[in-house]
Amino acid sequence: MSKAIFELVNELPTSNLTVSMLRSLDFVVPGEWNNLVGFDNTIRAVTGETDPSLIQQIGERAVYLYNDRSQGYQRAMWLYQTVDSTDKALGAAALANKVGEAVPLLGFLNKLTPKADKAQTIDLTLKLVAELVAFCQINGIPGDSIGDFVGSLADYSGESLMRMVALVCVDGLIPLGPDFIMKVQSNLSQTTPQDLEKSSTFQGINSEIPGGNSAGKLSFINQSFDSVKGWMSNLVTSHNLTPQKVVSNLQKFVTVADDKLDYLAAFIDVSTNYYEHTGTQTLARRLIERAVAEI
């Protein structure tokens, strides 16, 4: 990793398309996500500390922990960054001047190609596996600890919960429809190890997925989704989530016709990095909490 954790947190944007998208999803878990940026600011928010010398001490300890390669923090950060950086066919820079106003999607349609359902399924499940493996890395447990991860989902809050909500909404409901869970299961059952190997996301994070060869990794992906589908289903039913409800909230920052939802999914894919953004915030929080406990 080329950048220190304090640099990554200091460089998080206060306002861009990713932030706008996440804010528009606040209706699912109101008040859960606060866009914490700035390392010292995050230390103050997480710990309640105001003493500058103690804040510096906590910060130095957090940086030390992040830099310790025997810990899993850098690998977790790499996972968050990598699942977001693949498939960026359209540079988000082209959209930078649109921040703060609704982005009309029509101008981008000729540059976007909606993913086939199978490709979308692979992407969604790989993001889920990245979350699972990153969770294990952060908590210092084996990377195939599906049970520990599923058990922890009930306690997810803040930026971690918002990341999972975004996964369900923008990688599940919008591109695959209200029955996305059944669709993912069906698509996974027809996915071969060769299909998996064609995915740029899989190529990016392949080394961190448990399972040995591609067939074993596909089996792990299946197990992971099977274990989390109950949590996802409960999130959808308890908040009465539909593609239309999600889109009506997203329309605060992007203008899209109802028959262009697959294009909206592609647009979000290439113009936002919600995994990296919230993942950086999750890592900062965990490091700071541990640093305080050790001091």
Over residues 241-295, the pLDDT tens digits come to: 999 999 999 988 887 776 778 888 888 888 899 999 999 999 999 999 999 999 8
Q: State yes or no: pLDDT of 59 exceeds 90.
A: yes
The distance from CA 8 to its chain's CA centroid, rounded to whole angstroms, is 16
Could you tell me which residue, 104 or 124, shows the higher pLDDT? 124
Q: State yes or no: pLDDT of 160 exceeds 50.
A: yes
Reduced to 3 states (helix: H, G, I; strand: E, B; else coil), residue 178 is coil
Decide: 215 and 119 in contact? Cβ < 8 Å.
Answer: no
Decide: 240 and 117 in contact? Cβ < 8 Å.
Answer: no
pLDDT at residue 89, rounded to an integer: 47
Decide: 135 and 161 in contact? Cβ < 8 Å.
Answer: no
Q: pTM for this structure?
A: 0.93
- Please count the residues of the chain: 295
User: 87 pLDDT band (50/70/90 cuts)?
Assistant: low
Segment among 97-101, 136-140, 246-250 with least mean pLDDT: 97-101
Decide: 24 and 246 in contact? Cβ < 8 Å.
Answer: no
Q: What is the pLDDT of residues 187-230, one digit of tens each?
A: 999 999 999 999 989 999 999 999 999 999 999 999 999 999 99
d(Cα 16, Cα 19) in Å, to the nearest integer? Answer: 5
